[in-house]
Amino acid sequence: MLRTQPRLESSKLMSWMSPVIAIVLTMLVSSVMFLSLDINPATAFRVFILDPLSDSYNLGELMVKTTPLLLCATGLALCYKANIWNIGAEGQLLVGALVGSYFALQAGDDSGYGWLAITLIAGAIAGMLWAAIPTLLHQLFHTNLILTTIMLNYIGLYLLLWGVHGPLVDPDGFGFPESAIFADSVLLPTIMEDGRASISIILAVIFAIGSGIILYRTLPGFQLRVFGSDQPAARYAGYSSKFIIWSVMLSAGALAGFAGVAEVTGPIGQLIPQISPGYGYAAIIVAYLGRLNPFGIIFAAFFMGTLYMGSDLAQIELGMPTAITGLFQGILLFFLLACDFLINYKIIWKPTTRVAQSSKPTATETKQGTA
């Protein structure tokens, strides 16, 4: 019989292996799904995982998809490390895009990079302020952060829709809900000849590495980690919970807001209603897949970006609905959480006969039966 037993110490090995196992299990389940749809799993995996990496155009698009995921997930990881449940990256991203677009639309062709910088900063600050709302409510009224950040995601979405249908709509756009195309001066420089990937991917990686260094090499980072794993201990040590909560929430908001403005001034080049295919929610999975470690998150974001890219390709090549991305994300997150069981528990083999024969089972064995 297979039995589970709590480990005395959580397993370091398993904490790194569990995302790998989760990815393998997700692939197994998807194989079954592909077979049921009469699609050869080998073909499907080629389209989903290899094709996004196949040529420079696809690689560029992969970076386009990875950038917002990496930015949002880095911010969320800081929050989750501190045990602060911020689910609001999606709304912060949308508001960042909206406010950034307002600034971008004020630019002319000769505005210069100064105005681009202002636009980017405005987007980041907008995301930060959007994150400040639930933080303030949490501090003042003890509202549940999960629920307020989610409500603000919906409010942010409708705010964006209002902007793109109303004040920011292109007057020459025949009533289509989109803004005018931004002036070249406020577009982020691209990093490749063909393709839309902009320097924002480089910035995103720098921000992630920076966060990693802060988290693991500085005193505030240490305080944040202590606060997250053992709040009473952090209080006892005199760490200010106010400071920690505000700093992680505002950082996360700024990063998500930047992700939004980098989308509209980067690959999209104007404000449209479909800024995000749920990047802010997928970033939650990316943060977990990367073990809440900014260095791991860089890989996780590229993996999730591949999934988004792959599902675009699968739609074209295999006629699969794009909804499959969300499905994969859900399955992956389930397996990630399930595999974390292995960090704190070990699975042991125990012959059933011995347990059944022993007249007086030990205390641990009796209790195992109830689990």
> Which residues sit at the interface with other proteins, rule CB under 8 A?
5-6, 85, 87, 137, 140-144, 146-148, 150-152, 154-155, 158-159, 161-162, 165-166, 281, 284-285, 288, 321, 323-331, 333-334, 337-338, 340-341, 344-345, 364, 367-368, 370-371
What is the DSSP-derived secondary structure letter of residue 188? P
- Shortest Cβ 106–other proteins spacing (Å): 22
Reported as type and span, the H/E element at residue 132 is helix 113-141
- Shortest Cβ 314–other proteins spacing (Å): 12
For other proteins, the closer of residues 103 and 288 by Cβ is 288
Residue 6, helix vs strand vs coil = strand
Task: Give the Cβ contact number of residue 369 at 10 Å.
Answer: 9
Cα→Cα distances 190→62, 68, 129, 133, 201, Å: 14, 16, 28, 34, 10
Place of tokens 């479909």: 274
CB 12 within 8 A of CB 343: no
Place of tokens 């990815």: 23
For other proteins, the closer of residues 78 and 205 by Cβ is 78
- Shortest Cβ 185–other proteins spacing (Å): 30
Tokens of 321: 């609905």
- Shortest Cβ 121–other proteins spacing (Å): 26
Tokens of 215: 């988290």
For other proteins, the closer of residues 121 and 155 by Cβ is 155
- Shortest Cβ 368–other proteins spacing (Å): 7
For other proteins, the closer of residues 353 and 364 by Cβ is 364
Phi first, then psi: what are they for 88, rounded to 5°?
Answer: -95, 15
For other proteins, the closer of residues 21 and 161 by Cβ is 161
For other proteins, the closer of residues 213 and 348 by Cβ is 348
- Shortest Cβ 268–other proteins spacing (Å): 20
**Degrees to nearest 5, angle at CA 184 with 183 and 186:** 75
- Shortest Cβ 288–other proteins spacing (Å): 7
- Shortest Cβ 42–other proteins spacing (Å): 21
User: What angle, 0 to 180 degrees and rounded to 10, lies between the N-to-C axes of helices 145-165 and 113-141?
Assistant: 140
For other proteins, the closer of residues 61 and 340 by Cβ is 340
Nearest-angstrom CA–CA distance, 305 and 217: 28
For other proteins, the closer of residues 121 and 159 by Cβ is 159
Cα→Cα distances 159→108, 145, 229, 273, Å: 25, 20, 36, 10
CB 154 within 8 A of CB 147: no
Contacts of 52 (CB under 8 A, 6+ apart): 58, 59, 61, 62, 305, 306, 309, 310, 313
